Amino acid sequence: MNKTMRAAVCIAMATVGISTGCKPSDSVGDTHSNRLKKNEKRIEIQGAGATFPFPLYSKWVAEYQKVDPRIRINYQSTGSGGGIRQITERVIDFGATDAPMTEEELAKVSGKILHIPTALGAVVLAYNLPGVSKLNLSPEVVAGIFLGEIKNWNDPAIARLNSGAALPNRPIAVVYRTDGSGTTAVFTEYLSKVNASWKEKVGAGKSVRFPVGLGAKGNEGVSGQMKITPGSMGYVELAYARQSRLAYAALQNSKGQFVEPSLESVTAAAQSVEEMPDDLRISIVDAPGELAYPMAAFTYILVYEEQAEVVKGKEMAQFLWWALHEGQRYGAALHYAPLPSQVITKAEAKLREMKSGQQVLLSTKN
């Protein structure tokens, strides 16, 4: 794990104070100074889940504590599967996932869970191949590599897409996630959509049985394993590839164009959505559009509509409101695209559904 990622881990695993930039009720005009009262009780909020947005959430925690140090948020990047399990069991205050909860998962929940989209990101095919800084990959080639059918870097199927590249006669060391992962869900959904053989033999999900390769836990684990394994290829969120200084491929999209992951190509994928569903659960994998990157995704925070505690629920709703607004400006520097305005509007409506008993936690003043 590099120094940048280690620093992010330290920020998130520590218990730090944060709160809101926009108070939704009679305290709308409160300032940082007049909220810090000598004997004011601190409130702790526990969250866990996706590693995909971990760098962004760490930044949000650090920035938000400047607004209101009364609130302490601890977010642990356990993977989307862990976040869903823990929010289902009600051992945390909020969960996080890149892949929306399935109907089967929602059926196990006692109460109504809201999906709040927080940002857009990209899953990339990163690789460690000295001397090769640019690489094009088609759906067929990606599936072939992860099925173990394309074994060497100089395989003709790869060479045809990369004229002039100095591809070595070297085995491809595949690296994959071992934990329940939204990143894995995005990657395997993509392969299941574009390759019938993958769909039949492996399928899609947060946790699948990979035919070949080395397993590692979390985006940080995969990128760390690849960093020390020359000749490797794996799938990680864009921010992890950038922070680990790993090269990543341009993928051929549904229009036949080779597209690099970027803020612009992820946004293009999101713009393909004509109408967000009411519950905001949606996939933009393999989106149409010449400029769309094919492995883009929304990432979500999961909260219960009915909060057990009024004060904590109110503070959490305020934090999420801040994330949808002020928080969006921190994403670009960390390689996350901001939410489209129409998605923010729908997410605002979901936050207004949060309540504790008969008390609504956000007022109409927001």
For residue range 163-180, list pLDDT tens digits in order: 999 999 999 999 999 999
Q: How many other β-carbons are positioned within 10 Å of the β-carbon of residue 348?
A: 16
The chain-wide mean pLDDT, for the chain, equals 90
HEC string of the chain? CCHHHHHHHHHHHCCEECCCCCCCCCCCCCCHHHHCCCCCCCEEEEEEECCCCHHHHHHHHHHHCCCCCCEEEEEECCCHHHHHHHHHCCCCCEEEECCCCCHHHHHCCCCCEEEEEEEEEEEEEEEECCCCCCCEECHHHHHHHHHCCCCECCCHHHHCCCCCCCCCCCECEEEEECCCCHHHHHHHHHHHHHCHHHHHHCCCCCCCCCCCCEEECHHHHHHHHHHCCCCEEEEEEHHHHHHCCCEECEEECCCCCEECCCHHHHHHHHCCCCCCCCCCCCCCCCCCCCCCCCCEEEEEEEEECECCCHHHHHHHHHHHHHHHCHHHHHCHHHCCECCCHHHHHHHHHHHCCCEECCEECCCCCC
Nearest to 82 by CA among 238, 272, 218: 218
Angle at 107 between CA 309 and CA 76, to 5 degrees: 55
Task: Map tokens 């070595």 to a residue.
Answer: 168
- Average pLDDT of the residues in 233-248: 96
- The C-alpha angle with vertex 245 and arms to 240 and 246, in degrees rounded to 5, equals 80
In the structure, what pLDDT confidence band is assigned to residue 9 with cuts at 50, 70 and 90?
A: very low
Query: 100 is written with which tokens?
Result: 């929306």
**Mean pLDDT computed over 267-283:** 94
Contact predicate 295/187, CB 8 Å: yes
Confidence label for 259 from pLDDT (cuts 50, 70 and 90): very high
Judged against a pLDDT cut of 80, whether residue 39 lies above it is answered with: no
Contact present, 303 and 350 (Cβ < 8 Å): no
pLDDT for 274 beyond 60: yes
Residues 84-97 as b/e (b if ≥16 CB within 10 A, e otherwise) read bbbbbeeebbbbbb
Q: Which of 209, 213, 182 is nearest to 300 (CA)?
A: 182
Reported as a pLDDT band with limits 50, 70 and 90, residue 365 is low
pLDDT tens digits for 313-341?
Answer: 999 999 999 999 999 999 999 999 999 99
**Among 5-14, 48-57, 177-186, which stretch is predicted with the lowest mean pLDDT?**
5-14
Q: What does the alpha-carbon distance between residue 337 and residue 287 come to, in Å, rounded to a whole number? A: 16
Domain ranges of the chain: 3-120+297-360, 122-270
pLDDT of the residue at 23: 37
3-120+297-360 is classed in which CATH architecture? 3-Layer(aba) Sandwich (3.40)
Q: What is the pLDDT of residues 148-166, one digit of tens each?
A: 999 999 999 999 999 999 9
Q: In this structure, are residues 233 and 173 in contact, taking their beta carbons and an 8 Å threshold?
A: yes
pLDDT of 187-206, one tens digit each? 999 999 999 999 999 999 99
Q: Could you tell me the pLDDT band of residue 139, with boundaries at 50, 70 and 90? A: very high
Instruction: State yes or no: pLDDT of 3 exceeds 60.
Output: no
Mean pLDDT value of segment 33-61? 82
CA distance 220 to 166: 28
Give the pLDDT mean for 123-132.
97
Span of 33-37, 106-110, 225-229 with lowest mean pLDDT: 33-37
> What's the topology of domain 122-270?
D-Maltodextrin-Binding Protein; domain 2 (3.40.190)
Q: What is the per-residue pLDDT for 313?
A: 96
Burial class of residue 333 (count of CB atoms within 10 Å of its CB; 0-12, 13-18, 19+):
exposed
d(CA 117, CA 262): 19
Strand partners, 72: 17, 44
